[in-house]
Structure 1
Amino acid sequence: MNILHVVPSFAPCFAHGGVVNASYQIAKKQLEAGHDVSVYTTDSCDKRLEFENNYNVDVDGIKVFYFRNISNTVKNKLTIDTPISSIKHIKKTIAKFDIVHIHEHRHSLAIATHRYAKKNNIPYVLQAHGSVLPFFQKEKMKDIFDKIWGFDILHDASRVFALTEVEKEQYLKMGVLDNKIEIVPLGINLDEYNNLPSKGKFKTKYNIDENNKIILFLGRIHEIKGLDLLIKSFNQIPHDNVKLVIVGGDYGFKEELVKLIEKFNLKDKIIFPGVLTGKDKIEALVDCNIFVMPSRYESFTTSGLEAMACNKPLILTKNNHIHTWVKDNAGLVCEFKEEDLSNCMKSLLNDDSLCEKFGKTGRELIENKYDWNKVEKQIESIYQKCIDEY
């Protein structure tokens, strides 16, 4: 197949969250399966991405086109992308693709892709990545977008991908037909977690005593992730021999966290390593005792899958859509409340056998269901159905 992925940000801008990693992993696996894979994206990142030729970049064999945003600052602050040059290119090239895969739908690349895919009878699938409903920030802007473009982009898709049953219900609320919705989870590259580094490397780098336990968060430092709740809950547990490690890039919320840390006098107990990738990230996962994702809202947590691949127990709030199969299976689930979260952390910190049990079950789940190789085969099968229907 000749496949096109359309996504607001792409590798190497992994700091922009899970959608970047997911689209990259899917594209890479499709390339390995023998397909011709292209990506249309923008040059937006923390700093504008620049290449010798932005419209012909080889990213591990994937052909990537980084269309220039008029303002990278506007993109990062307001989440409004302005890749004007993309419209002409999409119009000119869309007909050569067998299938188009749009990641998220409230962005200008999706608008142009929808328009010209429809004109040229090219089927496309849409993967909202947890952003189906217009809520949590900029609700009015999202409502306006949906009335002008969003509903059409959703409804005209040959298929839409829901990460969970909860997201499927959200698509239904937006008027998408049930027979167009496919449950397609995210995955991880299991090969990267089959030969884990020895314990202690992360602790050594950050001067953490080998006898200290680590509670780890891995994700964006953003209000939606509930890190203020995590720090308040961490303050309620005995932390003489426990460190809280918050890994990720700052999305305008770190200043609030620093104020809390100062208020509770936790400066020596909490570490911010910044963004970690590759072996550095895996070393942090290997050395942690508990992985916590205390989100206000979360459709799917890929970093949680990575922790499971390292045999680590999870703690999630009920706001995370995957909590239904994590609860008492691969970890603990709590309400979005300080006392509930602190009690879960205390339970796992004081019960190594329960941590081991959850870690083992989590690893088995990854091997059976959440390996990118298996997810890619499911996606390929859905693509083929869409092509056959056209």
Structure 2
Amino acid sequence: MIVYNFIRSMDPCNGGTVTACSIYNEAFKSLGLDSHIVSISDHEENENVYSLAENVSSVYGFSIKALICCFKKINHKSIIVVHGLWQFHGFLALLLSYFKKANVIVVPHGMGGAYFDQFKLKKLKKYVYWFFVERLLIKKASCIIYMGEGEKNFCSDLLAGAFSGKELIIRPYLNKVDTLSENFSGLAGLDSDFFNILFIGRDDPIKGLSGFLHELSVIDESCDFDICLNIIGPFSKKTIAGYLRDFKNIKINFFGAIYSIDKYNIIKNSDCVVVPSKYESFSLVALESLMMNTPVIVSNNVGITYDLPMCAGVLIYHDDNELLDHLRHVYASDIKEFDSGQVLELFTKDNFLSSLKLMLSDVSYVSKP
């Protein structure tokens, strides 16, 4: 049995989906399976990724190279794990499930949100793609795996009537990080004289950064401490210039795209991490923060809030006033001494592997007609 983890791109700028795909690939290998990552858009192949790129610019772009290669390698004994929706690799998996009888598992990674809550002409491409591709892919899937209760709730409206198979919640885990800096030395831009708030995310309106900056600009006027917002993510020069121009009363540092140990160093030395998303199915950033024992302030629109037990380091806000209260609470108290063990015990590698193993033995891998 060979597992193929299908994803559009393993570019780390794509965030949580890339991290989760790597986690699944690692976990399948830990269970003794031959597992591979298959990327449709990456142009640099490495030892961990099969790159089937063919200058595909659109997420719906068709790749003849990917089609031919997969038809040669994949058969009825193969398992395809589709990471994410609304992209060409889902269409490719659908074709392989029909013509090669491959078994399909879908991991939406938050891409099953309420896209069709009201009709909009600009979403016409998505309506068509849903009817002819995604809806059929969901019907063919042996199983859908959600990262948490929040994501399952967010996806329920879209998938209602399209899927009648097995739905599972398998919470992700993060590998422990060593060799962290205990002070601000070497962390350019972090100033211990400020209350350092950290935002990690891509340049996308759904991540809520613009709204958070508006909230922060109002809050800053009534705060009796100096705030610095540090931002990690692949932001364009135009976006950065716009934020610096529009929010001059806030000290803002842009670190750019930072990964692995450097990112964790900044998380650890921040006073708190904020996740202000308008919609987010889970949030690995929140999990990373708790792993570093850094308090996280999360919008109530973030799915991980359904899965986190009450804990001193987890603060959920619904409006500006509650956000200000949480910031003051973190500033005034020694909250960084909280014990994140109670929270993180839900997100362990052992739990993940046990759930994955149970899923593999429980789900019938006979391709649906």
TM-score, L = length of structure 2 = 0.87
Alignment RMSD: 2.6
Per-residue CA distance 1:293-344 (angstroms, 9 max, x = gap): 0001000110110110011111111110122344752411112x44443332
User: Alignment partner of 2:363: what SS?
Assistant: helix
Alignment of 1:181-330 (within 5 A): 181-189=167-175, 191-192=176-177, 195=178, 197-201=180-184, 204-235=186-217, 236-237=219-220, 238=223, 241-250=226-235, 255-256=238-239, 258-266=241-249, 269-326=251-308, 328-329=310-311, 330=313
* CA distance, structure 1, for counterparts of residue 249 and residue 54 of structure 2: 40
Q: Aligned partner of 1:139: which letter?
A: K
Q: CA deviation at 1:170?
A: 4.6
Tell me, yes or no, if the aligned pair for 1:4 and 1:37 is still in contact at 8 Å.
yes
Tell me, yes or no, if the aligned pair for 1:104 and 1:129 is still in contact at 8 Å.
yes
* CA distance, structure 2, for counterparts of residue 323 and residue 33 of structure 1: 30
User: Alignment partner of 1:80: what SS?
Assistant: coil
Per-residue CA distance 1:29-62 (angstroms, 9 max, x = gap): 3223332112221234xxxx33xxx5xx412xxx
Tell me, yes or no, if the aligned pair for 1:105 and 1:150 is still in contact at 8 Å.
yes
Per-residue CA distance 1:53-95 (angstroms, 9 max, x = gap): x5xx412xxxx32112334xx33xxx43432211122222211
Change in 2 beyond 3 A, CA 1:388/1:86 = closer
Matching residue of 1:67 = 52
Per-residue CA distance 1:188-246 (angstroms, 9 max, x = gap): 11x32xx4513224x54315333433111112132111111222222223375432111
1:32 counterpart (12, 30, 33)? 30
Per-residue CA distance 1:10-31 (angstroms, 9 max, x = gap): 2xx1111211111012102322
Matching residue of 1:80 = 60
Change in 2 beyond 3 A, CA 1:19/1:207 = closer
Change in 2 beyond 3 A, CA 1:90/1:346 = same
Tell me, yes or no, if the aligned pair for 1:69 and 1:81 is still in contact at 8 Å.
no
Per-residue CA distance 1:124-146 (angstroms, 9 max, x = gap): 11001111145299633221101
Tell me, yes or no, if the aligned pair for 1:4 and 1:97 is still in contact at 8 Å.
no
Q: Aligned partner of 2:192: which letter?
A: E
Identity %: 19
* CA distance, structure 2, for counterparts of residue 327 and residue 231 of structure 1: 28
* CA distance, structure 2, for counterparts of residue 314 and residue 141 of structure 1: 37
Tell me, yes or no, if the aligned pair for 2:113 and 2:154 is still in contact at 8 Å.
yes
* CA distance, structure 2, for counterparts of residue 158 and residue 319 of structure 1: 29
* CA distance, structure 1, for counterparts of residue 186 and residue 298 of structure 2: 28
1:110 counterpart = 2:102 = no
User: Alignment partner of 2:264: what SS?
Assistant: helix
* CA distance, structure 1, for counterparts of residue 27 and residue 354 of structure 2: 9
Q: Which runs of 5+ in 2 are unaligned?
A: none
2:19 counterpart (14, 18, 21)? 21
Alignment of 1:359-374 (within 5 A): 360=339, 362-366=340-344, 368-374=345-351
Tell me, yes or no, if the aligned pair for 2:142 and 2:364 is still in contact at 8 Å.
no
Q: CA deviation at 1:348?
A: 1.6
Tell me, yes or no, if the aligned pair for 1:26 and 1:376 is still in contact at 8 Å.
no
Tell me, yes or no, if the aligned pair for 2:279 and 2:302 is still in contact at 8 Å.
yes
Matching residue of 1:125 = 105
1:333 counterpart = 2:303 = no
Tell me, yes or no, if the aligned pair for 1:134 and 1:142 is still in contact at 8 Å.
no
Q: CA deviation at 1:257?
A: 5.6
1:151 counterpart (135, 144, 149)? 135
Tell me, yes or no, if the aligned pair for 1:229 and 1:338 is still in contact at 8 Å.
no
Q: Aligned partner of 2:47: which letter?
A: D
TM-score, L = length of structure 1 = 0.83
* CA distance, structure 2, for counterparts of residue 303 and residue 33 of structure 1: 26
Q: Which runs of 5+ in 1 are unaligned?
A: none
User: Alignment partner of 1:220: what SS?
Assistant: coil
1:375 counterpart = 2:358 = no
Tell me, yes or no, if the aligned pair for 2:149 and 2:307 is still in contact at 8 Å.
no
Tell me, yes or no, if the aligned pair for 1:99 and 1:122 is still in contact at 8 Å.
yes
Q: Aligned partner of 1:107: which letter?
A: Q
Per-residue CA distance 1:354-383 (angstroms, 9 max, x = gap): x433xx1x34321x1212443133123212
Q: Aligned partner of 2:285: which letter?
A: S
* CA distance, structure 2, for counterparts of residue 86 and residue 134 of structure 1: 30
* CA distance, structure 1, for counterparts of residue 275 and residue 37 of structure 2: 30
